[in-house]
A and B are shown apart, each in its own frame.
Chain A
């Protein structure tokens, strides 16, 4: 299974970043990717024969996220420490804006968030997103529109409240 290990080592950093953007949490991302990699191991003979196994695994991560059940069971494998809250070098205002957006993204329905992550983080075209999610491009656009509307509306309200406070 050396080819499985080589594949995993090559893909793991990207998969973990992607899962982090989907879940918004380090531990959930680790759990999600672990679950997928165990399944990949079980099905490696099939997956490795695919034209683009990396895409297949990204699809598995996406599907895993969309069907993720928040288990109340104890976490079997604990990984890593919590990240620092603030990154050095960040301008405070920009940092605050991004943290605010991060929280808003976390509140999006999962399918909308998946579309947003694929569009704005993975920079995937709508056709690929549609293929990945198993839906029509129009559905992708609808999810993106709803997500952006929600995010912009939230931002607009916050800005109005901030202006009102200033006045």
Chain B
């Protein structure tokens, strides 16, 4: 090995070592990660069986919920039943209202599907403050004949097709249903097939089909699946997902800035027991900034904490961890507690708890 090459290699190693201090603080990242997990706790459930050509995500044709930022605060709340919940009485609603997605997936490959759907509406773009940064996202894990494929379909309101960035190269032009797009496919590594296509109302739709580790799905198969999914995206959406609990008439100007409904991804024991329900979470706030409150179905294990005041006939407990407070409404969803958490006063958490819609 020549001297110059050795010098270069040593310099590279020294350069990396000298920049270790750039690494973020682990405690800070851990806390931020936990916040994100709080917003999208996992569910323990069986995979959703999907028949050929039928998207099983159309779970319920019920109340359409508007989460657009331009809506009024009242309209932005999840479908409001006529009467307000009583703080001390049991919940009387038969079901939480459905949550609307802004677009539909008209086709998925035949197989078993675990899913996570989001609708996120946090903040506005610099140029157009009324235009939300985020739309909806479907994250699906499809098992086809033992092959596990991850499908991610997102709406990028602020990313145009000509601004698309791929993991490899600039991508190739493609036309999907008359809409211009760019696509990229990598056959020898992670990433799989990626496509950005123009959204009729601006921005773009992103489709990513990739094999999970260990899957042997070929590049052409991923491309075929990705294109067919893209060809069958429908606007506006009529898909609604049924949450395991709802919220109504939120107090103090709070709005739902984001929701997640997740099915699958559970642990093996719970899958076998078939005991789980789709997991639901909400982020609440003014939607101008990062929402300060997170509401989600917590693990069934009895949460540690101090006994609190009853809410809607349910026992509660709460904990305070350096100002980050969590209130658990016990036995709220199929025996599991609903947690309301945030760096806010405990009274604010009770205010939200009194507006939960819990199915009996």
**B-binding residues in A (CB < 8 A):** 1, 8-9, 12-13, 16-17, 19-21, 25-27, 29-30, 33-34, 37-38, 41-45, 56, 59, 62-63, 66-74, 76-77, 79-80, 83-84, 87, 90, 94-95, 97-98, 101-102, 105, 110-111, 116-117, 120-121, 133-135, 139, 148, 151-152, 155
Residues in A whose Cβ lies below 8 Å from that of B40: 38
How far, in angstroms, from A94 to B19 measured CA to CA in the complex? 13
> Nearest A residue to B28 by beta-carbon distance?
A79
A9 to chain B, nearest CB (A): 7
Residues in B whose Cβ lies below 8 Å from that of A134: 188-190
B11 at the interface (CB under 8 A from A): yes
Given A45-B267, A76-B122, A98-B18: A34 touches B32 (CB 8 Å cut-off): yes
B8 touches A152 (CB 8 A): yes
**A-binding residues in B (CB < 8 A):** 4-5, 8-9, 11-26, 28-30, 32-33, 35-37, 40, 42, 116, 122-123, 133-134, 156, 158-159, 163, 165, 167-168, 188-191, 194, 206, 208, 210, 213, 265-268, 290, 299
Cβ contact of B11, chosen from A9, A45, A77, A101, cutoff 8 A = A101
B32 touches A79 (CB 8 A): yes
Cβ contact of B16, chosen from A13, A87, A121, cutoff 8 A = A121
How far, in angstroms, from A70 to B266 measured CA to CA in the complex? 30
> Nearest A residue to B21 by beta-carbon distance?
A83
B42 touches A41 (CB 8 A): yes
A40 to chain B, nearest CB (A): 9
How far, in angstroms, from A68 to B26 measured CA to CA in the complex? 21
How far, in angstroms, from A155 to B42 measured CA to CA in the complex? 49
Cβ contact of B189, chosen from A66, A79, A83, A105, cutoff 8 A = A66
Residues in A whose Cβ lies below 8 Å from that of B268: 45
How far, in angstroms, from A72 to B157 measured CA to CA in the complex? 10
A98 touches B11 (CB 8 A): yes
B316 to chain A, nearest CB (A): 22
B189 touches A16 (CB 8 A): no
Known: A16-B29, A73-B158, A79-B32. 12 other contacts (CB 8 A): A16-B24, A26-B24, A30-B29, A34-B32, A41-B33, A66-B167, A67-B210, A74-B122, A90-B18, A94-B14, A110-B167, A134-B190
How far, in angstroms, from A98 to B16 measured CA to CA in the complex? 8
How far, in angstroms, from A87 to B159 measured CA to CA in the complex? 38
* Most central of B12, B24, B40, B167 by chain A CB within 10 Å: B24
Residues in A whose Cβ lies below 8 Å from that of B16: 21, 117, 120-121
> Nearest A residue to B265 by beta-carbon distance?
A42
A31 to chain B, nearest CB (A): 9
A101 touches B29 (CB 8 A): no
A45 touches B5 (CB 8 A): no
How far, in angstroms, from A25 to B23 measured CA to CA in the complex? 8
> Nearest B residue to A20 by beta-carbon distance?
B23
B271 to chain A, nearest CB (A): 9
A34 touches B21 (CB 8 A): no
* Most central of B11, B22, B188 by chain A CB within 10 Å: B22
Main SS of chain A's interface residues? helix
Given A41-B42, A72-B159: A133 touches B189 (CB 8 Å cut-off): yes
Cβ contact of A38, chosen from B19, B33, B190, B290, cutoff 8 A = B33
Cβ contact of A30, chosen from B21, B24, B35, cutoff 8 A = B24
B214 to chain A, nearest CB (A): 10
* Most central of B12, B116, B168, B265 by chain A CB within 10 Å: B12
B23 touches A29 (CB 8 A): yes
B158 touches A72 (CB 8 A): yes
**Nearest 5 pairs of A and B residues by beta carbon:** A45-B267, A63-B190, A121-B16, A77-B32, A30-B24
B11 touches A97 (CB 8 A): yes
Residues in B whose Cβ lies below 8 Å from that of A97: 11
How far, in angstroms, from A106 to B268 measured CA to CA in the complex? 42
B35 to chain A, nearest CB (A): 7
A132 to chain B, nearest CB (A): 10
* Most central of A9, A116, A120, A134 by chain B CB within 10 Å: A120
How far, in angstroms, from A29 to B266 measured CA to CA in the complex? 27
Report 29 cross-chain contacts, Cβ distance below 8 Å, ordered by A residue: A8-B33, A20-B19, A20-B22, A30-B28, A37-B33, A38-B36, A38-B40, A41-B42, A63-B190, A67-B190, A67-B210, A68-B167, A69-B206, A72-B156, A72-B159, A73-B158, A74-B122, A77-B36, A77-B290, A84-B21, A90-B18, A94-B14, A101-B15, A102-B15, A105-B12, A117-B16, A121-B13, A135-B189, A151-B8
